[in-house]
Amino acid sequence: MKLMRKTKLSVVLLGTAVAFSLSIKAQQTTEELINLLIQKQVISQTDADSLRAENALKAQADKEKQSKFQLFTGKPVNLSGYTQVRFISQQEAFKPDYLDIRRARLDFKAQISEHFDSRLQVEFAGTPKILDAILNFKYRDWLKFSAGQFYIPFSAENTTSDNKLELNDRSQVVNALAGRDKDVIGNQNGRDLGIQASGSIVRINDRFLADYYIGGFNGAGINTADNNESKDLSGRIVLHPLKNFDIGGSYYNGYDIWGTSAKEHVRKRNGAELSYTYAFATIKGEYIQGLDAGVEKSGWYAQLSTFIYKKIFSWLQSTIHMIRTPIRRKNTTAP
């Protein structure tokens, strides 16, 4: 019995070794076989060339398969990403000009079921961090629930993806009043942890009359636990009375902690937005008011953009920033 088991094992190992050897020499053996068939006049030169061509194509296909990494999951996952490079020219003495990676992101999206989907977006430029981590439940077009970390529903420019903006950076007023690098709570990339209900209502032909978003958020920013008992409320509604014409408003109300103080401060925002696209030109603008611990802030921007050689270089855009006003500040008594 032991001898039989050893014999079977030896046969298996021998078969494996032979198969491995044959796979290594497969291409060489095929060429030798073709030459032998020509010598025996079994096939013509034309047939031999055809066999060689087929063999070359198969070998190339096998090589390509070996160079690709396949991700196997229970559900289909869509992986995309982008990077943005910018050039900085500094006019101050002894400060060099330089190139840097403005953004470098990977975006994973998965359709879990008919009603559920998820998203994970990671930023690798600078200090790596999670930007979006969302689970969505879409009941109908008019009702969708989102939970996790995602854009606060405030301001059109704030909630526009970075790779769809005309320029690398947003306007000063959005940076200062929409949870970005000049906001009192620090740069949160316009996002926070929370829950949200949203949807599109009143369908007219191929578009909806209105989109709405309303949510509750921690108020402390991304990738961090809340630092107080208060929760912040934010909402946005956008009307589409005409095709390619959007008009909307945003609201934010919270009591947040920032800086070295452990005291909660009022942090309020109100915003209005307008956008109209005609042919290949777009005009848009926003006005935002804010209140941070008794300090009033406000600002606005208007922007005109158009495509140059739309049919040939649709990615090339010329943007004229008509005006981007500085943030005005005025001390008042907090409500």
pLDDT at 330: 65
Q: Provide the pLDDT confidence category of residue 1 given band limits of 50, 70 and 90.
A: very low
pLDDT at residue 119 is higher than 60:
yes
For residue 173, report the phi and psi dihedrals to the nearest 5 degrees: -65, -35
d(CA 129, CA 125): 9
Cα–Cα nearest to 332, from 298, 296, 297: 296
Kindly report whether the global pTM for this prediction surpasses the value 0.85.
Answer: no
Cα–Cα nearest to 78, from 114, 138, 121, 140: 121
pLDDT digits (tens, 9 = 90+) for 235-293: 999 999 999 999 999 999 999 999 888 899 999 999 999 999 998 889 999 999 999 99
pLDDT at residue 222 is higher than 60:
yes
pLDDT at 53: 77
pLDDT at residue 66 is higher than 80:
no
> Any idea which residue has 């390619």 for tokens?
244
